[in-house]
Amino acid sequence: MTTAARIADGPIVPIRWDDGTLDIIDQRLLPGEERHLRLSRCEDVAAAIGALAIRGAPLLGIAAAYGLVLAARDGRLEQGAALLRAARPTAVNLPRTVDLCLDIALTNPAAAVEALLNQAQRLESAEARACDAIVRHGAALLAGARTIMTVCNTGALGTGHRGTALGIIVQLADEGPVTAICCETRPLLQGARLTTWELSRHGVPAQLIVDGAAAAILRTGDIDAVVVGCDRLAANGDLINKIGTYGVALAAAAHGVPFVAAVTMSSIDRSALSGDDIRIEMRAPDEVLNLVDGVAALPGVAALNPAFDVTPAHLVSAIVTEQGVIRRADDPRVRRLRAAARNAS
Ligand code: MRU
C-alpha cells in the first residue's frame, strides 16, 4: 500500500480503478486532509474496509468487487473472498458481491480477472444509476421539506456517486432553501467529518448537532423530515443503519416528524426475515474510549461499541429505492409529506 497526499478539488471520487490498482480516499483523515491510498492487494482492500478508510454499504460492495480482481490476479481468490467477507458483517452488499463475483470467476476460470473487472465496473455503474433514481424519487417525496435531519454519511463517500439520503438533501437544496441538520455520529463522526464536508462542497447550509441533541431538536417542531440510509433492510422492513438511527426514529415518531429511509436494492436482504436475523458489527472499545483530541476515558473503563442498530419497520414512514417509494399506509406522517409536496408544487 502506498500513499500520496492530494489537494481536494472537483467532484468527490472515493474509489477509482487506476491502471491495475485501486485508488481510494482515506476517509479516516477527512475533512482535514484528502489523502489517497493506492491498494494493490486484496488484503489491503479488506484492511481498508475494516479500518473504515472506505465505508458505506454501496461503496463496500464496489470495493469488494475490485478487491476480488486483485485477489484473482494474485491467484488468491478464495483467500481474498474470505478476508473480504470477514471485514465487516452488517452491510449485505459485502457478502452479496463476494458471492456473485466468485460465481462469475468460477464460470470463467480462464479469464477470471477480466470477467471480475467487468463485473466491478458494471456494479459501479449500477450503483450510480440507483443513486440517480433514489434522488429523483426521494426529492419528489420530500418536496417542500426545508429543514432535514440526517444520520451518518450517505453521500458520494458512501456510494461512489451522488449518494442516497444525502443525495436527496442536496437535490432539494438545488430546488429551494434547505438546511441539513447533521447528527455527528459518535464514535467515528461520519456525520461531523464527512457529511458536513460533502455539504460544504455542494454549498448546502448545514448545522452539526451532537447525537444526544436529536430528540430535543425533533421536539421543537422545526424539523420537516428525517432521511437516513441503510446497511441492510430485512424482509419485514426492519432497517439496519448506523448506531443512533433507532433513537432518532423513535423521537421522530413521538413528535410526528416523517422518517424516510433511502435504500439501494443492493442493501435489501430478503433472506433476513427481521432485524433480529442480522449480525450487528461490534467494534473495538477504543473507538468509544478515545473521546476528543487525545483525551480518553480512565484506563480500565469498559465500553460497548455496536456500530449499527435496528429500527423496527413500523417507525419508518417511507422507503425510497431506485424502483420507487413504498409508503406506510397506517403512518399519519405520510399525510404530512403529501401535504408539504402539494404546497411545494
Ligand atoms: O460504518 P459506516 O460508516 O460504513 O456506516 C454507514 C452507514 O450507516 C450508512 O448510512 C449506510 O451504509 C448507507 S451509505 C449510502
Instruction: Say whether 231 is catalytic.
Output: yes
What does pTM read for this prediction? Answer: 0.96
Helix (H), strand (E) counts: the chain = 12, 17
Task: Write out the DSSP string of 101-153.
Answer: HHHHHHH-GGGHHHHHHHHHHHHHHHHHHHHHHHHHHHHHHTTT--EEEE-S-
Neighbours of 8 (CB within 10 A): 12
Q: Which three cell numbers mark 254?
A: 413521538
pLDDT for 284-307, tens place per residue? 999 999 998 889 999 999 999 999
For residues 80 and 249, give the distance between their C-alpha atoms in angstroms, rounded to a whole number: 37
pLDDT for 251-277, tens place per residue? 999 999 999 999 999 999 999 999 999
For residues 182 and 256, give the distance between their C-alpha atoms in angstroms, rounded to a whole number: 19
CATH 1.20.120.420, the chain: domain bounds: 2-127
pLDDT for 13-56, tens place per residue? 999 999 999 999 999 999 999 999 999 999 999 999 999 999 99
Contact 317, 333 (CB under 8 A): yes
Q: Is the model's pLDDT at 3 over the cut of 50?
A: no
Would you place residue 317 in the very low, low, confident or very high pLDDT band (cuts 50, 70, 90)? very high
Task: Write out the DSSP string of 172-232.
Answer: HHHHS--EEEEE--TTTTIIIIIIHHHHHHHT--EEEE-GGGHHHHHHTT---EEEE--SE
Contact 205, 171 (CB under 8 A): no
CB environment 219-245: b (16+ within 10 A), e (fewer): eeeebbbbbbbbbbbbeebbbbbbbbb
Give residue 124's identity as a one-letter amino acid code: E
CATH 3.40.50.10470, the chain: domain bounds: 134-344
Q: Is the dihedral of CA 211, 212, 218, 222 positive or negative?
A: negative
pLDDT, residue 172, reads: 98
For residues 329 and 335, give the distance between their C-alpha atoms in angstroms, rounded to a whole number: 9
pLDDT for 221-244, tens place per residue? 899 999 999 999 999 999 999 999
- Mean pLDDT computed over 120-149: 98
Neighbours of 301 (CB within 10 A): 10
Question: Among 182, 117, 125, which Cα is nearest to 154's?
Answer: 182
Q: β-pairing, 232-234 with 239-242?
A: antiparallel
Q: Which atom of ligand 1 is nearest to the CA of 165?
A: 15
* CATH H superfamily, domain 134-344: Translation initiation factor eif-2b; domain 2 (3.40.50.10470)
- Mean pLDDT computed over 173-183: 97
- The distance between the two most distant Cα atoms of the chain, rounded to a whole number of Å, is 62
For ligand 1, atom 15, the nearest C-alpha belongs to 154
Q: Which three cell numbers mark 174?
A: 438545488
Instruction: Please pick, among 26, 211, 224, 231, the residue that the annotation labels catalytic.
Output: 231
CB environment 146-175: b (16+ within 10 A), e (fewer): bbbbbbbbbbbbbbbbbbbbbbbbbbbbee
What are the φ and ψ backbone dihedral angles of 105, each rounded to 5 degrees? -65, -40
* Helix 93-107, helix 77-87: angle, nearest 10: 170
Q: Is the model's pLDDT at 4 over the cut of 80?
A: no
Ligand 1 binding pocket, CB closer than 6 Å = 55-58, 91, 152, 154, 158-159, 164, 190, 229-231, 241-242, 307
For ligand 1, atom 6, the nearest C-alpha belongs to 56
pLDDT, residue 294, reads: 85
pLDDT for 190-214, tens place per residue? 999 999 999 999 999 999 999 999 9
In the chain, the percentage of residues whose pLDDT exceeds 70 is: 97
Measured in angstroms, how far is the CA atom of residue 343 from the centroid of ligand 1? 32
For the chain, the straight-line distance linking the first and the last C-alpha, in angstroms and rounded, comes to: 51
* Cα Rg of the chain, angstroms: 20
Would you place residue 6 in the very low, low, confident or very high pLDDT band (cuts 50, 70, 90)? very low
Give the residues across from 5 on adjacent strands: 35
In the chain, the percentage of residues whose pLDDT exceeds 90 is: 95
- Mean pLDDT computed over 127-151: 98
Measured in angstroms, how far is the CA atom of residue 112 from the centroid of ligand 1? 30
Would you place residue 345 in the very low, low, confident or very high pLDDT band (cuts 50, 70, 90)? confident
Average pLDDT value over all residues in the chain = 95
Q: Which atom of ligand 1 is nearest to the CA of 264?
A: 15
pLDDT, residue 8, reads: 41
CATH code linked to domain 2-127: 1.20.120.420
Measured in angstroms, how far is the CA atom of residue 192 from the centroid of ligand 1? 14
Q: Which atom of ligand 1 is nearest to the CA of 163?
A: 15
- Mean pLDDT computed over 318-335: 96
